[in-house]
Amino acid sequence: MAIEPEDDAQGDSFWWSAMGWGYFTFGEAQSPKPDFDVVPVVSKSKWLSYRGHHMVHITERWSHDRIGPMQLAHFNGIGYESWENVWGIWNGFTPRAGEALKRVSKAWHYLGKYHYTYDFKEWVPHTEEIGPRERLIFASKFTHENGNHVYMVVNRGDANQTAQVWTEDTNRTFVDLMTGEKLKYLGPQQHYWFDIEANGFAAILAVDEVDQELETLLEEMKNMTLAGSLSSYSNEWKFLTQ
């Protein structure tokens, strides 16, 4: 059991607090329409902790925009507080946000379980191996002890994009946990490429071998993608009817 302070760990408490809430907005905090920087911010608490052992949960409880906070959680390999009944006040998910949470949580659980985003060997926020940044594609790279790694990618723009992985690592299999698709190597000029939808997510995992558990997850994610893109779900926030 861990006690999670609301304003994350402050001062000396950082060294003995295992978890904490995080607020990543600029301007007015706790707003239904919070202001997030287009460029993802880096979680200071996770960055300073040993191998990411401090877990932050982004908590924008009053925000009608759930996608922005989830993208920040995805980029940092941290958690998201999926809170709808806030002290008796209803702030429900839109259909799009609910579907996004279903999909990213499956990737997050797998990556945490197998020590990619937790107890990792190395973390490089804003890696230059994914891009292009001028199209608002940003990524963090988490490296496992065995050399396998994952890129946590977000598209902060309002247009669908084709992104690239610039790497000479051709000995591993590259897959996108969000779509279930395997990436193709296109040579030293283009390397690997993948599609990422507007305001979307990707989790590009590079592994020595695709085992049965990972194959099952990829098939499940592929079926979820075939059922519809995130943009096909409504993102209109509505009051709770009585």
What does 30-56 look like in DSSP terms, one character per residue?
S-SS-B--SSPPP-HHHHHSGGG-SEE
- 44-53, 155-164, 197-206 — which is least confidently predicted? 44-53
Report the pLDDT value the prediction gives residue 17, as an integer from 0 to 100: 81
19 vs 112, more confident: 112
First to last CA, the chain: 37
Q: Determine the pLDDT at residue 168.
A: 80
Write the DSSP symbol of residue 240. Answer: P
Mean per-residue pLDDT of the chain: 91
Q: Give the helix, strand, coil percentages of the chain, each rounded to 5.
A: 25, 25, 50
Query: Is residue 8 pLDDT above 60, yes or no?
Result: yes
Q: What is the pLDDT of residue 3?
A: 76
Question: Is it the case that residue 1 has pLDDT exceeding 80?
Answer: no
Decide: 127 and 119 in contact? Cβ < 8 Å: no
What average pLDDT score do residues 114-123 get?
A: 96
Are 202 and 151 contacting, i.e. CB atoms less than 8 angstroms apart? Answer: yes
Average the pLDDT over 208-218 and give the result: 97
Residue 77 has pLDDT above 70, yes or no: yes
Q: What is the mean pLDDT of residues 157-162?
A: 96
Q: Is it the case that residue 188 has pLDDT exceeding 90?
A: no
CA distance 214 to 210: 6
Q: In this predicted structure, what is the pLDDT of residue 6?
A: 78
Average pLDDT over residues 56-79: 93
Output 88 or 107, whichever has higher pLDDT.
107
pLDDT exceeds cutoff 90 at 71 = yes
Q: Does the pLDDT value for residue 195 go beyond 80?
A: yes
Within the chain, which residue ranges are assigned CATH 2.60.40.1180? 122-230
Rounded CA separation 175/9 (Å): 35
pLDDT recorded at residue 123: 97
Q: How confident is the model at residue 16 (pLDDT cuts 50, 70, 90)?
A: confident
Homologous superfamily of domain range 122-230: Golgi alpha-mannosidase II (2.60.40.1180)
Instruction: Give the number of residues written for the chain.
Output: 242
